[in-house]
């Protein structure tokens, strides 16, 4: 027995939104046997844009039962049935959350009519419920309402059952089929071909644009993890519908996967990589020459295309670093952007500054010390090579750090021996150092995790 379901909600993801309407059609594999429909009071206001889509207002649901009041009835109608919906993950995740909130443990096998339609009726222009119904000659009498959409989905499912000459529906329901966990628009054949190896993977939308970049020790296992469970995070719930294809790049090991992921997020700026895009500001130390010929420093946010002398994950860290250079090279705090006072800096009054801030010290003499300070910016550590597992048994990976600063990564044949730093450079592609990458590398230098660290 199948339970064909459609719901309307206050928003797009289950964790923060509620159900406002539900319709359930029972189908015995031959025909619809009965139906159920009710509005539900979400116990919150319905946003205007949702009302514009569904026509359901807060006033309409004011006297409707809450989910708690109808939960037992809905549970009885779903319990023991195969759950069917158009984009099943969406409806299922909402119901799962609503049941959990009232203390009911519910789970069911799922069938998604989007995925089933793509397989059983291939080649259609679109598989949205409206377009699919039109292609099959099904009229939706109450679009974007649970009753009308559930009735249309039931008619679509009825046709799928009749056209399923290769028993694809039964195959989908098998425990190891994998079909039920995948996003509605992702071909299973593409998922099946994913490698169980370390690398970086890319989710693409219908136009081929990258919308998410991730890294994994086991690409296939990690991606399957995205699609199983309730996936309540707003980004993951929304992203499922947009994933049409997956590509990947093998890295051989976790460290390079981390590095490549960080670089690719900065390069592609995918819409669903929220953490590295917005939560991690980067600050940089920049140099410039003023109208009097003095070399100066400033601390500013690092933007795309900017080239700081050194990067930091916090403004305070950049200031602290500059203060160290001020003291080590007798620099002027005011010319280093650390003091904003008019006239001579405070350190000149105490004898620690030679007066470059007011022209007392010549630009040529002062700039010589600034240039020496700049040379020391990235001479804070050792030059090392981190040698690890390659993408195949014939090669090894290489991550280079020159005097504490990340240089790049690459791969080389196992038969070749890294003997000096200059020859090692020929195997790597130079790339931008960032605080995120520097933190990753520092962790591997102190704890190689199976890699070999060569100090030059």
Tell me the torsion sign for CA atoms 83, 88, 91, 95: positive
Pairing of strands 310-312, 384-389: unpaired
CB 71 within 8 A of CB 94: no
Is the pLDDT reported for residue 235 higher than 50? no
pLDDT value for 300: 92
- Take residue 388 and report the two structure tokens written for it: 């690890």
Is the pLDDT reported for residue 362 higher than 60? yes
CB 311 within 8 A of CB 262: no
pLDDT tens profile 20-34: 999 999 999 999 999
Pairing of strands 19-27, 2-9: antiparallel
What class is the 188-279 domain? alpha beta
pLDDT value for 231: 46
Q: The domain at 2-180 falls in which architecture?
A: 2-Layer Sandwich (3.30)
Cα(192)–Cα(181) distance, integer angstroms: 13
Is the pLDDT reported for residue 287 higher than 90? yes
Give the mean model confidence (pLDDT) for residues 225-245: 71
Q: Is 181 helix (H, G, I), strand (E, B) or coil?
A: helix
Is the pLDDT reported for residue 366 higher than 50? yes
pLDDT tens profile 368-399: 999 999 988 865 567 889 999 999 999 999 99
Q: CA nearest 200: which of 262, 286, 153?
A: 262
Mean model confidence pLDDT for the chain:
88
Distance of alpha carbon 456 from the chain centroid: 37
Running DSSP on this structure, what letter comes out for residue 278? I
Burial class (CB in 10 A: 0-12, 13-18, 19+), 415: exposed
Of residues 329 and 454, the one with the higher pLDDT is 329
Query: Within a 10 A sphere around the Cβ of 117, how many other Cβ atoms?
Result: 23
Indicate the pTM of the whole model.
0.67
Backbone angles phi, psi at 231, to 5 degrees: 45, 60
Is the pLDDT reported for residue 445 higher than 50? yes
Residue-range domain boundaries for the chain? 2-180, 188-279, 283-376, 384-455
Pairing of strands 110-112, 82-85: parallel
Cα(270)–Cα(236) distance, integer angstroms: 13
pLDDT value for 177: 67
pLDDT band at 230 (very low <50, low <70, confident <90, very high): very low
Distance of alpha carbon 275 from the chain centroid: 7
Give the mean model confidence (pLDDT) for residues 411-436: 86
- Take residue 9 and report the two structure tokens written for it: 């909600």
């Amino acid at each position: 027995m199948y339970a064909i379901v459609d719901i309307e909600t206050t928003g797009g993801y289950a964790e923060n939104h509620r159900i406002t309407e539900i319709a359930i059609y029972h189908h015995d594999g031959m025909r619809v046997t009965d139906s159920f429909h009710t509005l539900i009071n979400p116990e919150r206001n319905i946003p205007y844009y949702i009302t514009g889509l569904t026509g359901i207002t807060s006033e309409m649901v004011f006297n409707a039962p809450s989910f708690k009041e109808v939960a037992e009835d809905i549970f009885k109608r779903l319990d023991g049935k195969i759950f069917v919906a158009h984009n099943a993950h969406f409806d299922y995740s909402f119901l799962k959350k609503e049941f959990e909130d009232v203390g009911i443990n519910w789970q069911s096998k799922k069938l998604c009519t989007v995925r089933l339609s793509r397989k059983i009726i291939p080649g259609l222009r679109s598989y949205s419920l409206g377009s699919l119904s039109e292609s099959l000659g099904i009229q939706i009498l109450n679009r974007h309402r649970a009753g009308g959409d559930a009735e249309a989905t039931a008619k679509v499912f009825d046709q799928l059952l009749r056209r399923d000459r290769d028993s694809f529906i039964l195959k989908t329901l098998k425990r190891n089929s994998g079909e039920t966990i995948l996003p509605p628009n992702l071909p299973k054949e593409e998922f099946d071909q994913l490698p169980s190896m370390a690398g970086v993977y890319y989710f693409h939308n219908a136009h081929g644009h990258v919308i998410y970049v991730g890294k994994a020790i086991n690409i296939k296992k990690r991606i399957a993890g995205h699609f199983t469970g309730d996936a309540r995070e707003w980004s993951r719930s929304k992203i499922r519908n947009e994933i049409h294809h997956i590509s990947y790049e093998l890295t051989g090991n976790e460290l390079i996967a981390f590095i490549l992921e960080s670089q690719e997020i900065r390069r592609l700026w995918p819409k669903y990589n929220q953490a590295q895009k917005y939560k991690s500001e980067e600050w940089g130390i920049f140099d410039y020459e003023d109208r009097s010929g003095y070399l100066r420093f400033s601390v500013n946010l690092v933007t795309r295309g900017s080239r700081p002398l050194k990067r930091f994950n916090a403004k305070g860290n950049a200031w602290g670093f500059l203060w160290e250079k001020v003291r080590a090279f007798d620099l002027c705090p005011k010319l280093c952007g650390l003091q904003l006072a008019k006239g001579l800096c405070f350190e000149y009054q105490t004898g620690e500054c030679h007066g470059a801030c007011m022209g007392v010290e010549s630009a040529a003499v002062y700039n010589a010390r600034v240039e020496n300070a700049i040379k020391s910016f990235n001479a804070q550590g050792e030059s090392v090579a981190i040698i690890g597992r390659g993408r195949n048994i014939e090669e090894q990976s290489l991550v280079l750090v020159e005097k504490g600063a990340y240089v790049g990564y690459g791969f080389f044949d196992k038969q070749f021996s890294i003997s000096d730093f200059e020859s090692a450079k020929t195997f790597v592609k130079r790339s931008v150092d960032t605080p995120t990458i520097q933190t990753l590398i520092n962790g591997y230098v102190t704890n190689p995790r199976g890699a070999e660290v060569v100090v030059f």
